[in-house]
Amino acid sequence: EQFPNEESLKRYLVTQFHHYIEKHSMRCHRGFEKAKPELLKMFEAIET
């Protein structure tokens, strides 16, 4: 058995998720980058 208890499995999974999020956090779907400035303006309008 690779993980001696459930807590060690949880720690491993959290570490894997964290690495995945870091790796892909700067990626952007095609088309979204073009719409991003307009979306930011819309959110700013909502906040004010």
**31-45 as b/e: b if 16+ CB within 10 A:** eeeeeeeeeeeeeee
Domain of residue 42 covers: 6-47
> Is 36 inside any structural domain?
yes
Q: Please tell me the total count of domains within the chain.
A: 1
Per-residue confidence (pLDDT) for residue 47, from 0 to 100:
85
Q: What is the pLDDT along the chain (48 residues), one digit of tens a residue?
A: 688 999 999 999 999 999 999 888 877 777 888 898 999 999 999 987
The pTM of the full predicted model, rounded to 2 decimals, is 0.50
Per-residue confidence (pLDDT) for residue 1, from 0 to 100:
64
> Is 22 inside any structural domain?
yes
Asked if 38 and 31 count as a contact pair (C-beta separation under 8 A), the reply is no
> Is 14 inside any structural domain?
yes
Tokens of 13: 């999974």
> Is 17 inside any structural domain?
yes
